[in-house]
Amino acid sequence: MKPHRIYTMSFASVYPHYVAKAEKKGRTKAEVDEIIHWLTGYDGDGLARMLAAKTNFEDFFARAPALNPARTGVTGLVCGVRVEAVEDPLMREARILDKLIDELARGRKMDKILRTPPPNGA
């Protein structure tokens, strides 16, 4: 069986679409980058290196400095597919990122997108 094209697709080719989707809804590139940092652990320089190298999705996630364990709490539908039901690990990571960007574009607050727990006593 031929692997899905996401394995070889350049992350740099999709990244501008994430930014455009966010900006079209009044959000910022910095917020997109914050989501990517939260999900993968890439800092600004690390993300810039991955984009410049045109790293594919498979390597982008495989080389992620620190995949956030809270990402497993990201649930819901992306393109009619339930994120938590996706069996392929790479496809699930890509769908989680898609879901987070969708939430950003829909106007959700960053603390909710990043699954930040409420302060103690709240």
What tens digit of pLDDT does each residue of 18-57 get?
A: 999 999 999 999 999 999 999 999 999 999 999 999 999 9
Name the token pair of 36. 């990517």
Structural domains in the chain plus CATH codes:
5-108 (1.10.8.290)
Q: What is the pLDDT of residue 113?
A: 95
Q: What integer is the mean pLDDT of 52-66? A: 96
Q: What is the pLDDT of residue 2?
A: 60
Name the token pair of 90. 């790479």
How far apart CA 11 and CA 98 sit, in angstroms, is: 12
pLDDT band (50, 70, 90) for residue 96: very high
In terms of Cβ atoms closer than 10 Å to its own Cβ (0-12, 13-18, 19+), residue 51 is middle
